[in-house]
Each structure stands twice: as C-alpha cells, then as structure tokens.
Chain A
Amino acid sequence: MTELVLALGIYLAVVAAVSVYSRLYARTRDPVDYFIASRGLSGLTSAMTYAATTYSAFMMVGLVGLSYATGVGALAFELAYLVSTIAILATFGTRVWELSRERGYVTPTQLLRDRLGSRWATAVAVALTAVALIPYSAVQMVGPASIIAGIGGSSVDYRVAVTIAFAITLVTTLAAGVRSVAWSDAVQGVIMLSSAAAFVAWLTARTPPGALARLADAELLSPLNRFWTPYTFFAYTTPWIFFAITNPQVFQRLYLPRSRRDYVRMVVYFSVFGLVYTVIAVSVGLLARGLVELGALDLGVDLRDRAAWNRVTPSLLRYTHPALAVAVAVSILAAATSTINSIVLTVASMVSYDTVVPERYRLAVGKAVVVLFSVVIYLFALSTPAFVVDLAVASSTLLLPLLPLYIFSVYGLASRYAYVSTLAVGSPLALGLTYVKGLHLPLPKEVLVATVSVATYVVVALLDRATVGRRSQ
C-alpha cells in the first residue's frame, strides 16, 4: 500500500526535521536545558507537549472501543479525568511551578528528595516509576504497530512499524532533549487532532438520523447503565483523577512554562485540546455503534469479549477511504510515540538526578539511560512477554502509592518514615490486588490502594511529627 509507506516516510521525516531544528535553540551541554528546556517554553508549546504526552494511543483505540461498548458513560469517565486534571493544575500545579523555580527542581522526585533529605528513599520511587512505566510504554507501541500492519493490503510489517516508533523515540529524545520532544509533540498533536476530526466527520456524514434513537434504545445515552455502575466508574476514574500527580512525565511538564502567564496559557490550551479530542473519540465510538445497530456496518466485534473492544477502530478503518485509514493509523502511532518519548526522557532525568550519578556525568548518563530504556521498550514491544502486559495494565494502580508523597511534600507534611511506610504498604498492596484474582472487594482496588496509601502516610507523618515535637521539648 503506497499511501501508507509514503505517509510513514513523511511523518518520520517531518518529526526528525523538527527535532533536529530545535537543536538550534538548545544549550546542548546543559542537563537542565536537556531535561526541562531551562524552564523556558512558551504556553502553546507547553500545552501541546502536555496534551500529546497525556493522550496516548488509548484515546483512538481504547476510548473509542469503550464508548462503542458502554455508551456515553465513557464520556463522563474521560471528563472526570479532564476536570480533575484542570483542578490539580490550577491549585497543586501552580505551587509545584513556584517550588521548581525557588528550589531549582529538574525532576519530580527531586522535590521528594529535597523535602525528605534521603537520596536512597527517593531512588526507590524512581525504581517504582520505571517498573510501572517502561512496560506501559512497550504496550503503547504494540497497538498502533498492529493497526498499521493490519491495514488492508499493508506493505508495512509489524516489526517495521515498531522500529519506526523506536526510531522516533530515539531521534526526538536525543536531538535536543525536552525541546525536541516538545516541538515534535506539537507536530504530533496537530496530526492527532486533525486526523481524528477527519475520522469523525467521515462517520457523521455516513450516519442516518435514526442512529441516535437506536443508541437510546440500547441504554447507551445514559451515563449510568448496566456497565457504568458507581463501582465501575470509580474503578476506572481513580487512577486517572490523580494522573497529573502520580505520573512523572506529566508532573515534570509543570516545570516547563517560562512565566505564570505561559503556565495559564498551557492549562487553557491543554483543556481545549483535551475537550475536543475526548468528544471526538467518544463520538467515533457512539456513531460506529449507531451504524452497527442500524445494520449499516458490520464490525464483527463481540461485545462480551473486553479485548475485542480495542478492535473497533481497526475494523472501522476497513470501511474508510485508504487515505483516511492511513492518516488515522499514523495519528495513533503519533499519539503513542509522543507519550513514550516523554516517559523515556523523564525516567532518564530521574535516574540521572535522583540516584547516585555524580553531577558532571548527569547529561551523559541521562542520554545513555534514554538509549537503554528505548531499546528495552523496543525489545518488549517486539516480544510482548506476559509479565510486561500484566505490569502495563497495573501501571496506573502501581503509581497510586506515590500520590500522598507528592501532595504532602508540597504542602509541608514531609516525613521520611511516612514516605517509607507508604511505599512499603501501598506498593505490595497494589501489586497483590492486581495479581490475585477473584477477590470480592467492598471498594474498587484502585480506590482501596489510594485510600490506604493516603491514610498510611497521614498517620505515620503525624506520629513522626508528634514524636519529634516531644523530643524537642
């Protein structure tokens, strides 16, 4: 399929050119410039990299399938994420931005180290983050590569598609660090939004008026239905509500805007991007379901099989014009790589700054870790061993124990004992609840992990404070 090869070639060339061009603005020997662009990005660039990092291949694959199968409740789930993120950015985020300037933070975990004074305790958080996010990144590569390989008459094999994602990750991170990541994210964000808009326009043009009534008959237009019970809603939303705090690749983006005004612009532009992209993804799923209910399409998706929900978008692409199918497939690849490159760079910065690396080797070690993690992700994506898939599914729950550490470190209740206790209790609990099947819990496991982690932190920190107060009297 010539269009696909041509589109992938153009995509690779444009992203590489933008990344290399961004080097002109970079101080290439300065690790602060490499990891956070010397805190000097504009509001628009910060917003685009925040959006492209946050919104992964899940949007046009997972969310489309979820909307198709479960209805408009999927919109409420994704809106919950957007609202909580904007609330966090408007309150917690502004304090983090101020602290990063006052104290010179480059990484999220540096904030923890500064407040707790323990390099080793912070290294545990770095390790936990890497264990959660590296498998997640590998699985991110799998979806788009499978879609590209599955496009009718595709001349691009799965391995070639994964290799393209790997090449983009390396080029965008190594060219000029976060500058090239942010600039290429901006380009990829435009690709994501414009292709998604064309996709929903094509579907809308095909949908007859009766589709809406069919959706209502199938209980897909009420936010709470047989699928979206309050239990399921909170199980889905809890990790996402706190995503802006627990995921270091987005946390670190709070350091990037060059002024308060640019910070505000970042939040405003990001929320517009998020709202539009969310509505488009949910609409694609709902319109597709409407067409299937009317008998106008046959996607062959068995609703009883959860894994099959992810096949809604690839099945829809069989019906579109080849050029549109190629554009959507490339946009999903762009969504995945713009998330992966940010994760790789952030985890590399954390290894470089928050473990035992001497100051003068930070940049060299950071770049070496970028290459190492990219290769590991590439190899995982090629073989997708079962443990990687399991860890990727558990990643959002695994990061929840970090929630109280960041919140209370920012708001002045820092305690080394509370930190260690929370990780010692929260992380095994998250892993255990993920792997032990068949448990009938009174609360979703995500809510349980978040509540236990916050309670552990608060109790131990208050005890620690009381003990210190008694000793000093």
Chain B
Amino acid sequence: MLRALLLVCAALSLALPGVLAGDRSMTSFAAYVALTVVTLALAYAHLRRWAVVD
C-alpha cells in the first residue's frame, strides 16, 4: 500500500510540470514542492519499514 502510494506520488510529481503547462504562478510551484516533500517522506517511511527485518 505504502509502496503503491509512493510510486503514484513520484509519478505525479514528475508529471506535474507537464500538467501545469502554461500556469506560471508561484502557487503551482509550491504545489510541486509540497508533492516532492510528500514523496520523499513516503520513501523514508517505506525504507524504515523495510529495514525492520534486519
């Protein structure tokens, strides 16, 4: 579940500049940065869970 969510967020954050074509506001850039932060947080959560097996 966490992995799927991570992959969706990563794909969205990579596709966002294309989706926001023509929108030059700082709000859309802030949304992009926020999505990036969420993706990184999900990646760390996923990794921490994976490392518990150690």
Contact = CB atoms under 8 A, between A and B. Distances in A.
Interface of A: 72-73, 76, 79-80, 83-84, 86-87, 89-91, 94, 219, 221-225, 228-230, 233-234, 237, 241, 259-261, 263-264, 267-268, 271
B48 A264 contact: yes
A83 B36 contact: yes
Interface string B1-28: 0010011001001100110111111101
B14 A83 contact: yes
Contacts of B29: 72, 76, 222-223
A241 B14 contact: yes
A185 B21 CA distance: 39
Determine which residue in B17, B18, B26 has the highest number of CB atoms from chain A within 10 A of its CB, and name it: B17
A244 to B, nearest CB: 12
A87 B43 contact: yes
Measured as residues with beta carbon below 8 angstroms from the partner, the interface class of chain B is: 20 to 34
A273 to B, nearest CB: 14
Q: 8 closest pairs, A vs B, by CB?
A: A87-B10, A90-B43, A222-B24, A230-B18, A260-B54, A260-B51, A264-B51, A264-B47
A251 B19 CA distance: 31
Given A83-B40, A90-B43, A219 B24 contact: yes
Main secondary structure of the interface of B (DSSP, over half): helix
Contacts of B22: 224
Given A86-B43, A233-B17, A76 B32 contact: yes
Nearest to A265: B51
A84 B44 CA distance: 13
A233 B3 CA distance: 26
Interface of B: 3, 6-7, 10, 13-14, 17-18, 20-26, 28-29, 32-33, 36, 39-40, 43-44, 46-48, 50-51, 53-54
Nearest to A77: B17
Given A260-B51, A264-B51, A80 B14 contact: yes
B23 A84 contact: no
B54 A228 contact: no
A94 B32 contact: no
A91 B6 contact: yes
Nearest to B35: A83
A224 B26 contact: no
A132 B18 CA distance: 29
B21 A271 contact: no
A224 B39 CA distance: 21
Contacts of B6: 87, 90-91
Contacts of A73: 17
22 contacts: A72-B29, A79-B33, A80-B13, A83-B39, A84-B14, A87-B43, A89-B43, A89-B47, A90-B43, A91-B3, A91-B6, A91-B7, A94-B50, A223-B24, A223-B32, A224-B17, A237-B14, A260-B50, A260-B54, A261-B51, A264-B50, A267-B47
A221 B30 CA distance: 12
B22 to A, nearest CB: 7
Given A233-B17, A233-B18, A264-B51, A224 B23 contact: yes
Contact of A222 (B25, B44, B50): B25
A264 B25 CA distance: 36
B40 A261 contact: no
A304 to B, nearest CB: 22
A90 B40 CA distance: 10
B47 A94 contact: yes
B18 A87 contact: no
Query: Which of B29, B36, B43, B53 is packed against the most chain A CB atoms within 10 Å?
Result: B43
B26 A222 contact: yes
B10 to A, nearest CB: 4
B24 to A, nearest CB: 4
Contacts of A91: 3, 6-7, 46
Nearest to B3: A91
A230 B53 CA distance: 41
Contacts of B7: 87, 91
A258 to B, nearest CB: 11
Contacts of A219: 24
A271 B43 CA distance: 11
Given A80-B17, A264-B48, 11 more contacts: A76-B29, A80-B14, A83-B36, A84-B10, A87-B10, A90-B47, A94-B47, A222-B25, A223-B20, A263-B47, A268-B47
